[in-house]
């Protein structure tokens, strides 16, 4: 089976599945993994890292050009389109020479505008889909900038990959999902498909189903999942790779969702609930506005009486009583704490401005 059609990430049936090893290691590993994926998912896109950005030197840094021949063979024999990460102009040139169908910019490149621009320049006049991973650091502007640079080079089909963000605090994840950043990126680029990469978010295989389902629930366009015939023996990212069989089980257990409600009754029920939310939000904003007006009056009083803006004991009392009240109303402690921190900060800002006016 030979695949000669150009792939279009915008026209692939959702959810898109990109599966394959973290790294192309040997011809046998690439061929066996690709075949086992193709048997189970004939519409998948095969992935394999050919050049690997490793944090420390002397780790396995990818096979390089010879691995591109294996990808070419995998594509010819399975019919799956193939994809790889590019980080330099030379990578782009070689990937194109060997007929790679889709490229992605890695998280360590997205943080570096020089790298992204070099890749963009190499892509000028080339018709190939490019996926852009979020930067390692939780900085949305770097991600936006990378999209602008690649789009600026005339690349027509751009997609995004959400692979989680580095965080200084330890968590169950290798890279914190920080879903709100992915959602904001989707808001800013509603026409770009976003693929979730649970493998790099989780760093292990146990949490993958949970993250993959959450991605589908957030209406992401597909999943990138690192898949290896012998994950334990993988030369990179061994802990987070699944076997093709395990992949089938994970995908089989996912619940598909659609952004649109199909039937009229469902549509009406949803719009009624949304109307309800709209009304509550109007009331909420009205009350917040009134609360800030009272905060302003308190600020005037403090100014006229030479009292400090911040009184820690009062803030502590407000926070604790609101947390207890919230808990009785079924609102989580974390949520109420974050909400009141925001409200309190705004009140303090209003009063500070008054003091200095």
By C-beta, is 105 or 336 nearer to ligand PEP? Answer: 105
Binding positions for Mn ion, 213-272, rule CB under 5 A: 237
Contact partner, 133, from Mn ion, ligand PEP, none, Cβ < 5-8 Å per class: ligand PEP
Site string for ligand PEP, 146-165 (x = CB under 6 A): -----------------x--
User: What is the rounded distance in angstroms from the CA atom of residue 284 to the CA atom of residue 86?
Assistant: 48
Residue 239 binding result from Mn ion, ligand PEP, none, given CB thresholds of 5 to 8 Å by partner type: none
Residue 100 as a binder of ligand PEP (CB under 6 A): the answer is: no
Report the residue number, 202 or 295, with the smaller CB distance to Mn ion. Answer: 202
Q: How far is the CB of 22 from Mn ion (least distance, A)?
A: 3
Report CA torsion sign: 130, 109, 60, 175. Answer: negative
Shortest separation between residue 312's beta carbon and ligand PEP, angstroms:
42
Nearer to Mn ion, 157 or 237 (CB): 237
Q: Answer for the pair 220, 15: CB distance below 8 angstroms, yes or no.
A: yes
Q: Which of 83, 88, 10, 70 is nearest to 44 (CA)?
A: 83
In the bound state with ligand PEP, the residue whose beta carbon lies nearer, of 133 and 228, is 133
CA-angle at 129, arms to 124 and 131, nearest 5°: 105
Which one of ligand PEP, Mn ion, none is in contact with 322 (Cβ closer than 5 to 8 A by kind)?
A: none
Q: x/- contact string, 9-28, with ligand PEP (CB under 6 A)? A: -------------x------
Report if residue 106 touches ligand PEP, rule: CB under 6 A.
yes
Rounded (10°) CA dihedral 103, 205, 137, 194: 50
- The residue whose Cβ lies closest to ligand PEP is 106
Does 48 contact Mn ion by CB under 5 A?
no
Q: Is 176 in the site for ligand PEP (CB under 6 A)?
A: no
Q: C-beta of 240: minimal distance to Mn ion in Å?
A: 7
Nearer to Mn ion, 186 or 200 (CB): 200
Return the residues of window 212-271 that contact ligand PEP according to CB under 6 A. Answer: none
Q: Is 49 in the site for ligand PEP (CB under 6 A)?
A: yes
Residue appearing with tokens 């026409």: 191
Please give the size of the binding site for ligand PEP, defined by CB under 6 A. 10
Judged by beta carbon, residue 158 or residue 295, the one nearer ligand PEP is 158
Report if residue 22 touches Mn ion, rule: CB under 5 A: yes
The CA distance from 214 to 224, in Å, is: 14
Smallest gap from Cβ 39 to ligand PEP, in A, equals: 23
Residues engaged in binding ligand PEP (CB under 6 A): 22, 49, 53, 85, 106-108, 133, 163, 200
Residues engaged in binding Mn ion (CB under 5 A): 22, 237
């Amino acid at each position: 089976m030979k695949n000669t059609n150009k792939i279009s990430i915008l026209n692939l049936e959702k959810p898109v599945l990109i599966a394959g090893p973290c790294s192309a290691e040997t011809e046998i590993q690439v061929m066996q993994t690709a075949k086992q994926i193709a048997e189970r998912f004939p519409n998948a896109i095969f992935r394999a890292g050919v050049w690997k950005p490793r944090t420390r030197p002397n780790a396995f840094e990818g096979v390089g050009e010879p691995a591109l021949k294996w990808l070419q063979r995998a594509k010819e024999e399975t019919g799956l389109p193939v994809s790889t990460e590019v980080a330099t102009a030379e990578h782009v040139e070689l990937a194109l020479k060997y007929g790679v169908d889709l490229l992605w910019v890695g998280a360590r490149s997205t943080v570096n505008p020089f790298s992204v621009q070099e890749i963009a320049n190499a892509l000028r006049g080339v018709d190939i889909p490019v996926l852009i991973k979020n930067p390692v650091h939780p900085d949305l502007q770097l991600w936006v900038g990378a999209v602008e640079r690649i789009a600026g080079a005339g690349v027509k089909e751009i997609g995004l990959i959400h692979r989680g963000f580095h965080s200084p605090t330890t968590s169950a994840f290798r890279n914190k999902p920080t879903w709100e950043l992915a959602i904001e990126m989707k808001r800013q680029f509603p026409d770009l498909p976003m693929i979730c990469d649970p493998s790099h978010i989780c760093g292990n295989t146990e949490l993958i189903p949970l993250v993959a389902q959450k991605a589908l629930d957030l209406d992401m366009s597909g999943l990138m999942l690192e898949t290896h015939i012998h994950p334990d023996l993988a030369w990179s990212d061994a802990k987070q790779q699944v076997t093709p069989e395990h992949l089938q089980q994970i995908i089989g257990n996912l619940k598909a969702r659609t952004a649109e409600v199909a039937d009229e009754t469902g549509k009406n029920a949803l719009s009624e609930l949304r109307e309800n939310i709209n009304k509550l939000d109007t009331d909420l904003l009205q009350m917040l506005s009134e609360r800030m007006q009272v905060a302003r009056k308190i600020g005037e009083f403090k100014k006229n009486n030479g009292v400090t803006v911040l009184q820690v004991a009062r803030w502590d009392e407000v926070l604790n009583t609101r947390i207890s009240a919230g808990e009785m109303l079924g609102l989580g402690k974390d949520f109420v704490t974050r909400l009141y921190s925001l409200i309190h900060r705004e009140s303090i800002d209003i009063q500070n401005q008054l003091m200095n006016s």
